[in-house]
Amino acid sequence: MHFVHWSLVLPTAAHFAEYYTIFATSPSDMSSAPPQFTTFQELRNAVQQYVRDFLDLSLQGKQN
């Protein structure tokens, strides 16, 4: 990997996203959640999906 000058030791947002989305929501968030989320698991799954979608968009870079 030295010939392509990749720095594999630098963490990126993707490294932390899965870990921190676990703590992004708490059961008390249900009191202010939009009505389409009837259970805490639905809310948590939606937050995890939003984070994945954002990461996918950020990896695409600038498009003209």
Q: Is residue 52 situated within a structural domain? A: yes
Give the model's pLDDT for residue 61: 67
Q: Print the domain residue range for 54.
A: 8-60
Q: Would you say residue 1 lies in a domain?
A: no
pLDDT of residue 1: 52
Residue 24 is assigned to a structural domain of this protein: yes
Please tell me the number of Cα atoms within 13 Å of 42 on its side-chain side: 8
Token look-up 């963490």 returns 11
Count how many domains the chain has: 1
Instruction: Decide if 29 is inside a domain.
Output: yes
Mean pLDDT by 10 residues, the chain (64 residues): 68 82 91 94 94 85 63
pLDDT, residue 63, reads 63
* pTM (global) more than 0.85: no
Q: Is residue 3 part of a domain?
A: no
| 27 within domain boundaries | yes
Number of other CB atoms surrounding residue 42 within 10 Å: 13
